[in-house]
Chain A
């Protein structure tokens, strides 16, 4: 679809959660898990 008619928020690709985090340079546990010590 010509860009003059629409703006595509996904820029043509289906980005999953791990793609988004990987592109940001994040190296989270299993891609999107932040490890915390319980009761910290």
Chain B
């Protein structure tokens, strides 16, 4: 529920500063949280460049924020020790954007019971209700799954819950720290009048007959069919997994009915990129030949190629037979384009074909690796369930492995290990500033509705073990011997992660397990560049006036600030706040003039020289005139003397 008042709203692009005090892992996590906002809302973030109000994220004591835009210039938001979790950052920024906690809304008592005698003495005020004259639930139902809801243990003085949900099934739902809920997004998008996002492009689960505007190419010899079931498989689509009768469709290319080499191309509608990089994801099912394949193309339209240029982006071979499998393809397109899926009939016998479902295209970064864990329900129920991923390499060349611990009856643990690899002699040790992001994928067909569970850790090269050795040193030096299933021996460093990655109850909720498969998405990237000092522009006077955004919009509607200047309203007049750096600035009514310290030095030197020259001229002229005057006097005296002498002689 949101704070009432337009003056509390931020512009859609929020200026921010990541202060030097932040841990490097926290900086990476904050940037990942911004990406979730960019995908699911119309809120974007940009580094501060002199705007009147901005969010300063720093490492304070604890995790906290203010509610709404307070118009104080630098508005602090603390991401302290243990706050560097993506959902915690999303939670604090929702406060900054103007949201209170879910259980403080005016109709709270209709949905949860607060057990007052279980609350820590003196902490009762944390369960206050705010009436609908100060807070607005934006016509959205009470949301047990909100990322802004407390969990049942909040401020408890013992072990019994302080919040009891009126519908008992929601008791373990409240307090999720995974991602925005659907209602969180509905409220945020209503509050900020969002109709689109920066990075979302398209999602298609093929539930409607219009197949999301996709088209069958005319240049091929076969077509994809819109089906809900195929005798040879799949028995059902991926979106619903057979949960809903009379629904659940996918696209199918029957390779059993065509000869080797026959192709069928399915093209997406035309898409317009904004960022120049894309991630395409989809599920494939193969019931045909193991040699059948899918090729991914882009068709890019330019002025010189109005028909579009077809470029092969990825060949997908060896598609597993008999199950839906997730794929990611990275694209880099800057002009309007289509994505094309080409099915190719390969050699060998086929009794079925290829199927595609649940396509998502967004201008986000794809994960580096996908770890698919099959038959997961069986693993979850077994004792001593410890699963280790295959070995992976980071872009820098570090080898690593993920360890998933299912031993606990309540929580699932996840840990990141460096392992010995082929590039170890060429790499820097102890391993510096590699951020590992581990995501348990919510397999909802629509990327915007997913609530994936994510944690990140970062390798700190100065971190030590109890015996003084470096934690992230070369695994062959500080690790222990381990063996891969194929019998190959290697070294495994100590793991770093969390025993509380996700609870079992949350794991079996939503669509983390689908078709008895679980996907852990992995990205390990170098974030050492975030170590550099925050670039803080020269301070701009704080706008102290409380200005309704509508008024600001009206006054600024006819003012265009140049060179990245931002229009603000001060005393009912539109003013341009001009960007400035350490040694440069823009000035003028519309920020049209550029200044720099170099210019100042030039002006100072030129002024000094000019003044000196003028003074010199004046001095010389004065001396000349004075000398001339005295010379005249002296000569006239001499003339008078000689005349007197003439008279004397």
Q: Which chain A residues have a beta carbon within 8 Å of chain B's beta carbons?
A: 1, 4-22, 24, 26-40
- With a cutoff of 8 Å between Cβ atoms, the chain B residues found around residue A1 in the complex are 405, 407, 413, 415, 495, 499
Closest to B546 in A: A39
Q: Does B496 contact A (CB under 8 A)?
A: yes
Q: Do B65 and A24 touch across chains, with their CB atoms under 8 A apart?
A: no
Interface size class of B (residues with CB under 8 A): 35 or more
Using Cβ atoms and an 8 Å threshold, which residues of chain B touch A7? 471, 494-497
* Stretch in B14-22, B67-75, B196-204, B393-401 touching the partner: B67-75
Q: Which of B154-186 contact A (CB under 8 A)?
A: 154-155, 175, 177
Residues of B within 8 A of A33 (CB): 64-67, 95, 100
Residue pair A17, B91 in contact (C-beta under 8 Å): yes
CB distance from B482 to the nearest CB of A (A): 10
B500 at the interface (CB under 8 A from A): yes
Interface: B83 (CB within 8 A): yes
Chain A residues in 8 Å Cβ range of B497: 6-9
Contact across chains for A18 and B500 when beta carbons are under 8 A apart: no
Select one of B68, B498, B544 contacting A8, CB under 8 A. Answer: B498
A38 touches B155 (CB 8 A): no
Known A17-B88, A20-B80, A33-B64; judge A6-B95 contact (CB<8 A). Answer: no
Which listed residue, A30, A37, A38, touches B126 by the CB 8 Å rule? Answer: A30
Residue of A nearest to B410 (CB): A14
* Contact status A21-B175, CB under 8 Å: no
B588 sits at the interface (CB 8 A): no
CA distance in complex: A18, B83 (Å): 11
B129 CB to nearest chain A CB (Å): 11
Given the interface pairs A8-B413, A18-B126, A26-B61, the reply to whether A31 lies near B70 with Cβ below 8 Å is: no
For B56-100 the 0/1 string (1 means CB < 8 A from A) is: 000001111111101110011010111100001001100100001
Bound Cα distance from A27 to B151, whole angstroms:
18
Residues of B within 8 A of A8 (CB): 413, 497-499
Residues of B within 8 Å of A27, CB to CB, are 122
Q: Which residue of A lies closest to B95 (CB)?
A: A33
A20 to B155, Cβ gap below 8 A?
Answer: no
Q: Closest CB of chain B to A18's CB: distance in Å?
A: 5
State the 9 A-B residue pairs at the shortest beta-carbon distance, nearest first.
A6-B495, A14-B500, A21-B62, A10-B498, A10-B500, A32-B64, A36-B70, A8-B499, A6-B415
Nearest CB in chain A: distance from B35 CB, A: 21
A38 to B168, CA, bound (A): 40
What residues make up the interface of B, taking CB atoms closer than 8 Å to A? 7-8, 61-68, 70-72, 75-76, 78, 80-83, 88, 91-92, 95, 100-101, 104, 120, 122-123, 125-126, 128, 150-151, 153-155, 175, 177, 403, 405, 407, 411, 413, 415, 457, 471, 480, 494-500, 503, 544-546
User: Which residues from chain A contact B72 at a C-beta distance below 8 Å?
Assistant: 36, 38-40
Bound complex: CA of A14 vs CA of B503, how far in Å?
A: 9
A5 surroundings in chain B (CB, below 8 A): 480, 494-495
Whether A26 and B498, one on each chain, are in contact in the complex, defined by CB atoms closer than 8 angstroms, is no
Inter-chain contacts of A10 with B (CB < 8 A): 82, 498-500
Given A4-B494, A9-B498, A34-B64, list of 19 further CB < 8 A pairs? A1-B405, A1-B495, A5-B480, A6-B494, A7-B494, A8-B498, A12-B499, A20-B63, A21-B63, A27-B122, A29-B125, A29-B126, A31-B150, A32-B65, A35-B66, A36-B75, A37-B70, A38-B8, A39-B72
User: 27 A–B contact pairs at CB < 8 A?
Assistant: A1-B405, A1-B499, A4-B494, A5-B495, A6-B413, A6-B415, A6-B495, A6-B497, A10-B498, A15-B500, A16-B154, A18-B154, A20-B81, A21-B62, A24-B61, A27-B122, A28-B64, A29-B126, A32-B65, A33-B100, A34-B66, A34-B76, A36-B66, A36-B72, A38-B8, A39-B70, A39-B546
Query: Which of B80, B122, B154 has the most A CB atoms < 10 Å from its CB?
Result: B154
Nearest-CB residue, chain B, relative to A8? B499
A4 to B649, alpha carbons, bound, how many Å? Answer: 129
- The residues of B that contact A26 with a CB separation of less than 8 Å are 61-62, 64
Report yes or no: B545 in contact with A39, Cβ–Cβ below 8 A: yes
A39 touches B155 (CB 8 A): no
CA distance A22 to B154 in the complex (A): 10
Contact present for B411 and A17 (CB under 8 Å): no
Which A residues touch B8, using CB under 8 A?
Answer: 38
Residues on A with beta carbons closer than 8 Å to the beta carbon of B7: 38
Given contacts A21-B62, A32-B64, A33-B65, contact A16 B175 (CB under 8 A): yes
Q: Which residue of A lies closest to B63 (CB)?
A: A17
Contact B100 A30 (CB under 8 A): yes
| B126 and A20 within 8 A (CB) | no
A31 to B120, CA, bound (A): 12
Q: Is there contact, CB below 8 Å, between A38 and B546?
A: yes
* Measured CA separation A7–B545 after assembly (Å): 50
